[in-house]
Structure 1
C-alpha cells in the first residue's frame, strides 16, 4: 500500500491532508489572549470594588455616537418561531429565546429591554462607538433644519400627487357605477317593451277575451270578495 501513489502523483500519507500548525505562533497567541483576559478580570474587579460598571477601554478606532436612522420592525416577527439549541444561552448571556444582540452576546425577553440595551454605553462600545455624542454647532443645526424642510416639502408633493390619483380613481369608479345603473335601466325598459309587444301580439291573434297573465288579477280578486263593480247609485 505504501508503494501506491496518490491522485496528486506522490505517495499517500496519513498526514498529507491535515492542517499544519505553527506551535510557537499558537503558543504566543494563547499567552497574549491569557494576558488580556487576566488584565480584563483585574479591571472588572477594581471597577466592582469602586462601585462602577466596567467598560472595555477605547482602542482609538471608535467613532462618535450618532442617532439611529433605521427603525426596528418587530412586527415582522409576529407569528414566527425560532429554534434555539438546548444550553445555548444561560440567563441573558448567549443566544436564547428572545431578542439577541450579537455584538454583546446577550438575549432579552422583550423588545423594550432590547431597545434600552442598544442605548447603553456597553452596547455603544461593543459596536465601535465612543458613547459620546458630537456637540452640534450652529451650522450643523441649520443644515439639519434645511434637510428636514426639504423632506417635508417632498412629502407634501407626494401627498398632493397621491390625492390627485385618489380623486381620479374615485371619478372613474363613479363613472363606472353610473354606466352600470344606465345599463340596468335599459335592460329593464327593454324587458317591459318586449313583454308589452308579446301581450299585444296575443290579443291580436286570439281577441280581447284572452286572459293575459296578471292582467285581470284585480278583477278576479273583486269577484271573489263579492263585488261585481262600483256603478253609480244616482236616481234618474
Structure 2
C-alpha cells in the first residue's frame, strides 16, 4: 500500500489552546495566599533576636599544639578527636588551619556565638579610654626596656671590675716574685755552696 507524500495528512491540527484569564488569575491568588501563610508562620516563631556587635578575641587561636604529632583515627572516635581542627561551638571539624580561621571568622560561627557581623560604633569616651590603655602599655614597655638597659650596663660594669681585680692580682704576684728574687741575691754565695745550692736566682738567662 502506498504511503501519502504529505506527512500532515490525516492529522487534526485545528485545535489551539486558548488563554483563559480567569484561570491564571486564580493561580496568582493561590500563590499569594501561600506566600502570606509562609511569612506568617515565620513571624509567629518569635521576636527577632538582638545580636551583639562583633568583639575582638581575648584568647589566642591554637593552631600549632598538634603539629608533628601522630594520632590514630577511628570511625567511632568523637569529632574532637578526628583529624583536623574541631570547633566546639558549631561542633564541626575543619581539615586545615586556613579554613579553620575562615570558619571562626565567618558568619555562621559568629551567629552561634550570639554576635552579628556589624562592628559597634565607637564613641568619644571609648576612644579616649582606648588611648589611655595603649599609653599605659607603652609606658610599661618603655620601663621594661629601660630596666633591661640598666641591667646590661650593670653587668658590663661588674665584668670590668672582675677584669681589674684579676689584673691587680697578677701585678701583686709579679711583685712577690721580684721580691723573692731580690732576697735570694742577698744570700752569701759561700753559704749557698755549703748548703749545696748553686744559687737561688732564676734559671732564665
Contact 1:74 1:111 in 2 (8 A): no
Contact 2:90-2:109 within 8 A present in 1 as well:
yes
Aligned length: 153
Pairwise CA distance, 1:163: 2.9
Q: CA deviation at 1:211?
A: 6.8
| 1:120 aligned residue | 106
1:213 aligns with: 202
- 1:77 matched to 2:59? The reply is no
Question: For residues 92 and 71 of structure 2, what CA distance do their matches in structure 1 show?
Answer: 17
Relative contact order (C-alpha < 8 Å, sep 6+): which is higher? 2
Instruction: Give me the whole-angstrom Cα distance separating, in 2, the residues matched to 1:175 and 1:106.
Output: 59
- 1:34-113 maps to which residues of 2 (within 5 A)? 60=48, 63-74=51-62, 77=65, 81=69, 83=71, 85-88=73-76, 94-95=79-80, 96-113=82-99
**Partners of 1:150 and 1:205 in 2: CA distance:** 83
1: CA distance, partners of 2:67 / 2:179: 65
Which stretches in structure 1 are left out of the alignment for 5+ residues?
A: 1-56, 217-236
Unaligned runs of 5+ in 2: 1-44, 193-197
Deviation digits for residues 71-122 of structure 1 (CA, Å, limit 9, x no counterpart): 43436616574756511479xxx33112100122211222221110012222
Structure index of larger Rg: 2
Q: Is 1:142 the equivalent of 2:124? A: yes
Coordinate RMSD, CA, aligned: 3.3
- The SS at the match of 2:52 is strand
CA 1:145/1:197 → structure 2, altered by over 3 Å: closer, same or farther? same
SS at match of 2:187: helix
Query: CA separation of 1:105/1:73 partners in 2, compared to 1, >3 Å: closer, same or farther?
Result: closer
Report the TM-score, using the length of structure 2 for normalisation.
0.60
Distance 2:113 2:46 in 1: 12
Q: Does structure 1 residue 172 correspond to structure 2 residue 154?
A: yes
Cα contact 1:65–1:124 (8 A) shared by 2:
no
- Whether 2:168 is the aligned partner of 1:186: answer yes
Q: CA deviation at 1:70?
A: 2.1
